Structure 1
Amino acid sequence: MIDLRRLHVLRAVAHYGTVTAAARALHFTPSAASQQIRQLARDLGVDLLEPQGRGVRLTAAAESLLAHADAIAERWEAAELDLRAEYSEPAGQLRVSGFPMSVPVLLAPMAVRLRDRHPRLTVRIRETGAPESFDQLFEGEAELAVVEVTPLNPPLSDARFDQQPLLDDPYDLVVPDDHPLAGRGRVDLAEAAHEDWIAPVPDSPCRPRVMSACGAAGFTPDVVHHALDWNVTAHLVAHRLGVALVPRLAQLMPHLPITRVRCAGDPYRKILTCTRRGCRERPAVAAALRELRELAPTAVA
C-alpha cells in the first residue's frame, strides 16, 4: 500500500524542483523529506531520485508514479465534492489569490458580490504573483487564483491545475496630454518608434510583452526609464520623460495629465482563472467564477 503522505512529499519535490525547497514548503527538514522519499522507494521497490550534478532529478519511475498521484488528487477533489453534494449553497471560507492588478478591479468586486449573495460564504483574498499563486493552490492554501500568463507558469497540460481563460487585457499607449498622438482614437506603435520609452523593470512578467509588441511594430524601443509600478510609469509619462505601454486593467491616477490611446493590432496579455483539478465545481468556487466572468468584460472596456 502506498503511503499517501510520502507520495505528497514526492509531488512537492516535483513541484518545487529540489528536496530542500519541498521540505521548506512542507515544514520538514531536508533530511526528513529525503527519508520519506527513500522509504517510499523501498516500499515500491524502485528508485525515485537519481543524482544530477550537485542535486537530484526524478527517475522515469517517479514520473510515472506522479501521473498516478495527480490523478488521485483530482479524484479526491471529486470525492469531496460528491460527499458535500447536499450542501449546494456556497458557504464556509473561499481563499483566493491574484496578481496585484486583479485585486481592485476583479477580486474585490467579486468578494462584495459574493458577500451580498451568499452571506454564509467568507472570502479571503491574498495578493500574489503567478508563481506564488500556483504554490498556494498546490499546497491547499487557496482554492482559486487569477493569474496572468507568464513563461514561469505551469503548462496548460499540467494535470495538477485547471487553467481557463478569463479575459484578454489590451495594452494602451500612454502619452502626455499634449503629445501629438494624444488626440488619436488608435495609433500604430511604429509612430512612437523614435520616442523615449518607459518600460517595466527587466524581471517583470510584463517586460517581454512590451518589447514583443514594439518588435512586432518593427522597432526596438529606446528604454530610458524603468518602473515596477504602473502608477510610477504614469508619473514619468506625465513629466514628459517618455511614453509607455500600460495594460488596461491598470488603474492609473485620474488627476495625471496623461492620455491612454488604443493601439492598432491590440497587443494584449491573457488572464486566467486557475484551480486544482476537480475543484472548479465546488459551490463556492463555481459562484466566484460566475462573478468573475460577469466582471471581466467591464474591467477592460
Structure 2
Amino acid sequence: MDVQRLLIFREIARTKSIGGAARSLGWTQPAVSQHLRHLERQAGTPLVLRRPRGVQLTEAGQALLRHADAIAARMQAATEELEALVHLRAGTVRLAAFPSAGATLVPAAMSLLAQRHPHLDVRLREAEPPQALGLLAVGDVDIALTFTHAGERPVDTDEIERIPIGEDPLRLVLPRSHPCAQPSAIPLDLRELAQDKWTGGCERCTDHLRQACEAAGFTPDIRHGTDDYVLTQALIARGLAVGLLPQLALDAARDPGVAVRPAAGVRPRVVYLLHHREADQIPAVRSAVQALADIAARASQGDHGGSSPATVPGINLVG
C-alpha cells in the first residue's frame, strides 16, 4: 500500500470527514476523495461509510488505522533521528590513526569536537597507514589518519579523498652522552652517525631510514626494530643505538635520557586525512575532519591553547 495514502486515510479518520482532512492537509476535497478510493481498491473493501455529517470507519478501516498510526509514529521517529544526525545532536564517527598521531593530534581533535558537538560519539582504532587504509576501504572506519614519507607515492583511488593536513619533521635521537648530542639548531649530517648502531621502526619507517642513510653515503647498522617509540627512546637513552623519530612521537612521549637534533637532508613525512569521497556530505564525518584539520593548523601556528605539547603537537601545516 502507498504510505502517503495511508497517512491521508489516517487524517480522514482523525478529522472524521473528508473535508476536514482536506483542510488539514491543504489539499482539495476531490483529491483526498480520489486517494481514499485508490486505497479502498487496494484494500479490496470499504474503509469508511459516508454519512451526512462525515465518515464512519468500517471494521476494516479501524484495523487499517491501527497500522497507519504505527507507520506515522515510525516516520516521526525517523524524521527526528535524521534531524538529530543532520544537526549533530547524535551520530558516530569511527577513526583509525597511526600511533603517534593517536597520542597527539587525535585526543586534541576529539576534545575540540566534544566542545563543538557534545553528543557525537567518536571511536578510535590504532592502525598503521596500510591497515588504516584497509579498514577504510571495507567500511570499518569513516576516517583514516595516515602518513607518507618523502618520495613515497600515496595510494590513490577514485573512491578515496586524501587531504594533506601537516608535515611531521623527522628528528635524530641520540643518547645524551653521544658526542653529537650537544644542543644545536644546526641540522646534523647523517654521516656523523655512520659508525653508530641504529634502531628502526615499522617496516615502512625502517625502509625510509635505510634509504635516507644510503642517500647520505652509508648503510646503517640497524640492530633493533620496534614501532614502539617509548621503547625506541629507552634503547637510545641507554646508549644502545641512535634513531630517527618523527616529531609527533617525541611530542607524545619524550625520554629525558635522549637528545634531539634536526636531521640534515631528511624531509618530513606528510600527514593525511582519508575518507570516502561522498562521506564529506555526512555531517558527523565532515565535522570530525574539520576538527582534525583545525588542530593541525593550530599546532602549526604554535597555538597550544593552554594544552601541553603532548596534546597539541608542533607540526608544520600543509597547504
Tell me what 1:34 maps to.
Answer: none
1:281 positional shift: 3.8
Residues 90 and 181 of structure 1: is their aligned pair in 2 closer, same or farther, counting only changes over 3 Å?
farther
- Could you say which residue in structure 1 is the equivalent of 2:57? none
Paired residue secondary structure (1:250): helix
> What is the aligned partner in structure 2 of residue 128 from structure 1?
127
Report how far residue 95 of structure 1 moved: 1.0
Q: 1:159 aligned to 2:158?
A: yes
Q: Normalising to structure 1: TM-score of the pair?
A: 0.65
Q: Is the 8 A contact 1:209 1:269 kept in 2?
A: no
Structure 2, unaligned stretches of length 5 or more?
A: 1-81, 300-312
Give 1:282 shift.
2.5
Q: Residue 108 in 1 paired to residue 119 in 2?
A: no
Q: Percent same amino acid at aligned positions? A: 31
Give the AA of the match of 2:314. Answer: V
Return the alpha-carbon distance in structure 2 between the equivalents of residues 154 and 216 of structure 1.
21
1:140 aligns with 2:123: no
Q: CA deviation at 1:135?
A: 2.6
Aligned CA-pair RMSD: 2.6
Q: Which string of whole-angstrom CA distances, capped at 9 and with x for unpartnered residues, describes residues 93-148 of structure 1?
A: 11111112211111121111111110121111111222332232222221111012
Which runs of 5 or more residues in structure 1 are unaligned?
1-82
Q: Deviations over 1:161-182 (max 9, x none)?
A: 1112122211100011122211
| CA gap 1:90/1:206 in 2 versus in 1, 3 angstroms | farther
Matches of 1:238 and 1:284, distance apart in 2: 43
User: In the superposition, relative to structure 1, how do residues 242 and 138 fare at CA in structure 2: closer, same or farther (>3 Å)?
Assistant: closer
CA distance in 2, matches of 1:255, 1:277: 40
Tell me by how many angstroms 1:248 deviates: 0.9
> Would you say the 8 A contact 1:98–1:127 is kept in 2?
yes
1:271 aligns with 2:271: yes
**Secondary structure of residue in 2 paired with 1:206:** helix
Q: Give the equivalent residue in structure 2 for 1:193.
A: 194
Contact 2:95 2:123 in 1 (8 A): yes
> How many residue pairs end up in the alignment?
216
- When residues 210 and 289 of structure 1 are mapped into structure 2, their CA distance, relative to the original with a 3 A threshold, is same
> Residue 218 in 1 paired to residue 217 in 2?
yes
Distance 1:91 1:152 in 2: 38
Q: Compute the displacement of 1:263 (Å).
A: 1.1
| Cα separation, partners in 2 of 1:90 and 1:128, compared to 1, 3 Å | farther
Q: TM-score, normalised on structure 2?
A: 0.61
